[in-house]
Chains A and B, each alone.
Chain A
């Protein structure tokens, strides 16, 4: 189906990434946000709070991030598309409820506008250091999806997509922005509502009595109901069976945890989005994501001007990590260069996928600003030797 025209601000705008992400959520059908505003994500909820009375929906400023991250899950079980919005310190506080969302298969969207950390860190300056936290931050085995916009336009596009993926796969989906992308203002084109594809909730076709809330469909994802529509449902953070009732034994644990991991890990190309440029015959491939992609592109072009055959692979979907694609690229290149605004996070995933076949050179950065393109260029030139 396509977007509800009420939420779509069709036209060409000059807005920042935070505002664009808010418009993406509205276009995707998000009608409930609970948040505890935090720099550099505040503008997203500010805009949502001012826009939602015109569209029809609710914004609640909660008492803290724990409350925000559970209120949105209540709204989702109540039938709404919902999200919460935060930055590193808030994300840390949300971890318990992110685990609950993964385990109870709540189609939850979380926007993380990354800033320098750890702890309070650099509230107004960028980093990309929450990449491992969103994957591994809550305890237990589970899989999430993470998207990495590199421009305000992509903040809009990928927030729409995050809602669609959340509904399709019923797992928490993260939009991994950063302070620069969030506060950078550029042209953003919002299409007409009929041109925006929106994935509706997987409403069950079964009648009350026949429906079991955690009975998976063929793609391993169960269908949903709306609380209050007459279906008997039970949702618990304990290990549960298809009826949703606690089933605390090794067999039920194996069945459930394995299904939650497998539905994402085995999704194949549906959850791979690597934008490749000139990787086919490259001696060096730069792997980047988010704001760093734009800085890296400047370095890639400088390296080409010096005669180096360099490709650029940009991760639009960072999680699940495209291990197979990286392994394929490793078979035909001599080295990888991975610039990121942290001291080595996704570069380790590249190393894992490449499994020692070619060297992986991390161009790290502790955060607070973006790389100087010259540093990435130097890394490319050294790797090409």
Chain B
């Protein structure tokens, strides 16, 4: 019985919520597990703080909020500062390395950085940063299967942008997979 809590934090406009949607969709529709997505719902707007909470589980999910993320994905310094105190003592931190410099991390936390913004720019669209992070998360944590994540990307992005987004996913996925070989998912 495995349950993983994921927190994704960044700025409005970075695609934080969509990345949560993709992970949730991959887990609950394509992997056949259970997933609950909660969006921080407030006066968020482009450029201000934004976060999503995803719980992935083999059994139905009761309490819907994320309290101690086993996986923390941050795309802004503010999100890092805000959420790193919540991370599971043996959790995994995934961060955009040009935007976030991790410090004072608990000893058991494993941290993996990726220059996702630069990679997105190389692909031609800075907007696909979030999809690179989804690929990175999939490659490092395997919280969702690669095939399911890929299908969820296709389901979730506008028509005509699938190839670009799949390329972004692939870039993040390979970057992550090269950093780590098949770690066991964290079960808080």
Q: Which residues of A contact B (CB under 8 A)?
A: 12-14, 16, 40, 124, 179-180, 183-187, 291, 294-295, 297-298, 301, 369-370, 373
Kindly provide the distance from the CB of A46 to the nearest chain B CB, expressed in whole angstroms: 14
Decide if B21 touches A14 in the complex (CB within 8 Å): yes
Decide if A187 touches B41 in the complex (CB within 8 Å): no
> Nearest A residue to B26 by beta-carbon distance?
A14
List of A residues within 8 angstroms of B35 by Cβ: 14, 186-187
Decide if A180 touches B38 in the complex (CB within 8 Å): yes
* Majority-rule SS of A interface residues: mixed
Within 8 A of A (CB), among B48-65: 61-65
Decide if A298 touches B63 in the complex (CB within 8 Å): yes
Report Cα–Cα, A16/B29, bound state, in Å.
Answer: 14
Decide if A12 touches B38 in the complex (CB within 8 Å): no
Report Cα–Cα, A180/B35, bound state, in Å.
Answer: 15
Kindly provide the distance from the CB of B132 to the nearest chain A CB, expressed in whole angstroms: 21
Within 8 A of A (CB), among B65-116: 65
Decide if A373 touches B38 in the complex (CB within 8 Å): no
Decide if B64 touches A291 in the complex (CB within 8 Å): yes
Instruction: With A40-B41, A124-B42 as known contacts, state yes or no: A187 contacts B29, CB within 8 Å.
Output: yes
- B11, CB-defined interface residue at 8 Å: no
Report Cα–Cα, A297/B62, bound state, in Å.
Answer: 7
* Majority-rule SS of B interface residues: mixed
List of B residues within 8 angstroms of A297 by Cβ: 62
Decide if B63 touches A295 in the complex (CB within 8 Å): yes
Decide if B37 touches A185 in the complex (CB within 8 Å): yes
Cβ-neighbour of A186 out of B36, B39, B42, B65 (below 8 A) = B36
List of B residues within 8 angstroms of A294 by Cβ: 61-64
> Nearest B residue to A293 by beta-carbon distance?
B62
Instruction: With A14-B28, A370-B63 as known contacts, state yes or no: A183 contacts B21, CB within 8 Å.
Output: no
Within 8 A of A (CB), among B98-154: none
> Nearest B residue to A297 by beta-carbon distance?
B62
List of A residues within 8 angstroms of B36 by Cβ: 184-186
In this complex, how many residues of chain B approach chain A with their Cβ under 8 Å: the count is: 18
Kindly provide the distance from the CB of B18 to the nearest chain A CB, expressed in whole angstroms: 11
Kindly provide the distance from the CB of A35 to the nearest chain B CB, expressed in whole angstroms: 19
Report Cα–Cα, A295/B29, bound state, in Å.
Answer: 23
Decide if A187 touches B65 in the complex (CB within 8 Å): no
Decide if A187 touches B63 in the complex (CB within 8 Å): no
List of A residues within 8 angstroms of B64 by Cβ: 180, 184, 291, 294-295, 370
Report Cα–Cα, A12/B27, bound state, in Å.
Answer: 13
Kindly provide the distance from the CB of A185 to the nearest chain B CB, expressed in whole angstroms: 4
List of B residues within 8 angstroms of A14 by Cβ: 21, 24-25, 28-29, 35, 37
Kindly provide the distance from the CB of A358 to the nearest chain B CB, expressed in whole angstroms: 26
Given A14-B21, A14-B28, A294-B63, 20 new contacts (CB under 8 A) = A13-B29, A124-B42, A183-B38, A183-B41, A184-B36, A184-B64, A185-B36, A185-B37, A185-B38, A185-B39, A186-B28, A186-B34, A187-B28, A187-B29, A291-B64, A295-B64, A298-B62, A298-B63, A370-B63, A373-B63
Kindly provide the distance from the CB of A377 to the nearest chain B CB, expressed in whole angstroms: 12
> Nearest A residue to B67 by beta-carbon distance?
A372
A-B contact pairs, 21 of them (CB 8 A): A13-B29, A14-B37, A124-B41, A124-B42, A179-B41, A183-B38, A183-B39, A183-B41, A184-B64, A185-B21, A185-B37, A186-B28, A186-B36, A186-B37, A187-B29, A294-B62, A294-B64, A295-B63, A298-B63, A369-B65, A370-B65
Decide if A184 touches B38 in the complex (CB within 8 Å): yes
Kindly provide the distance from the CB of A44 to the nearest chain B CB, expressed in whole angstroms: 15
Report Cα–Cα, A247/B63, bound state, in Å.
Answer: 53
